[in-house]
Amino acid sequence: MNGIRVREDEAFERALKRFSKTCERAGILSDVKKFRHYEKPSEERKRKLNASKRKRIREEARKRARSRRGRSGGRR
């Protein structure tokens, strides 16, 4: 379990922000959201496959954009 120690002269808002940051880094909220509802194995596979496709399309678009920049001969 994540936790922080509140410093003696630290404002509550600041301590809350530090706690939120540590939870975010540990991935606690994403785990809670992921396990909030049961996901069938087939749905999980489908979700991961779609995420993989989106990632591949994004990477290909970046490659195309980079190659177009290289052809223009520098700045315009």
- What are the pLDDT digits (tens) for 32-69? 888 899 999 999 999 999 999 999 999 999 999 999 88
Residue 19, exposed/middle/buried by CB under 10 A (0-12, 13-18, 19+)?
Answer: middle
Percent above pLDDT 90 for the chain: 59
Whether residues 23 and 50 share a domain: the answer is: no
User: pLDDT value at position 75?
Assistant: 58
> What is the sign, positive or negative, of the torsion defined by CA atoms of 28, 34, 35, 37?
positive
Whether residues 21 and 42 share a domain: the answer is: no
In this structure, what token pair is assigned to residue 53?
Answer: 């496709």
Which residues form the domain of 19?
1-37
pTM for the structure as a whole: 0.52
In this structure, what token pair is assigned to residue 47?
Answer: 């979700």
Domain total in the chain: 2
Say if residue 73's pLDDT is above 60: no
Mean pLDDT over all residues of the chain? 89
